[in-house]
Each structure stands twice: as C-alpha cells, then as structure tokens.
Amino acid sequence: MKISEIASLLNAEVLCGNGELDREVKSACGCDMMSDVLAFVKEQAVLITGLCNPQVVRTAQMMDMVCIVFVRGKRPPKEVVELAEKADIVVLATNERMYVACGMLYQSGLSGGGVVNG
C-alpha cells in the first residue's frame, strides 16, 4: 500500500515527507510503547502511535520504518517533525483513534507483519 493511500484512508494531514507519498509499505505496527515496537520484524512499515516524542522517530529509524502516523488528534512538536524529516520518514497526523486507524488499514489490506521470536 502506498503512503498516499494511508493518508487518504485515515483522512490524515501530511506533516512532512510530501515528496515520499508514493513509497510502498508492507505492514503496520500500532503501539505507544517503543520497547514493543522493537519486537516488530524489520521491514518497510508504518508506525501508528499517539506518543509524540523524539524517541518515536529514533525507534522508527532503528526499525527501518518509512512512515509514522500520529493518532487521536495528536500533533508532534516541531523538533520531532524535523527529526523525522532529516531521517526521510513521512509523518502523518489523524484524528482517528489507534484502534480504528489500525482496523481501517488492516481492512484495506495492510498486514500486521510479524514479531521477533523470543
């Protein structure tokens, strides 16, 4: 699924990465605990979260994620968006709740990916 499709499905605002909306993603991870995100298998993925701090971007970078979607109407601070922009990570913001956003993406064919065993 293209990031532009994700933005459209979630009626999301693009906060950075307008030129990267044609990137393909294979899976998504919805989580507010970054330690749980680290158990997610590395692949081109979207991180769906309500946590708005720089650690979100650093975790997404570490896991080779290409997009972060902030849910529940949350808007990350300017420094978080700038950090994502430097890392070539698209940042979206939606008013949808995490559960609903994940469900909409799953129903539209975006898989949940896998987790690291152990």
CATH of the domain at 28: 3.40.1390.20
Reduce the DSSP state of residue 16 to 3 states and report it.
strand
Q: Domain residues for 29?
A: 3-107
pLDDT band at 14 (very low <50, low <70, confident <90, very high): very high
Q: Could you give the number of structural domains in the chain? A: 1
Measured CA to CA, the distance from residue 1 to residue 106 in angstroms comes to: 11
pLDDT tens-digit series, residues 88-97: 999 999 999 9
Q: Supply the pLDDT for residue 111.
A: 77
pLDDT tens-digit series, residues 26-66: 889 899 988 888 887 667 789 999 999 999 999 999 998 99
Residue type present at position 62: M
Q: Supply the pLDDT for residue 91.
A: 98
pTM for the predicted model, two decimal places: 0.92
Reduce the DSSP state of residue 99 to 3 states and report it.
helix
Measured CA to CA, the distance from residue 32 to residue 9 in angstroms comes to: 21
Does residue 115 form part of some domain? no
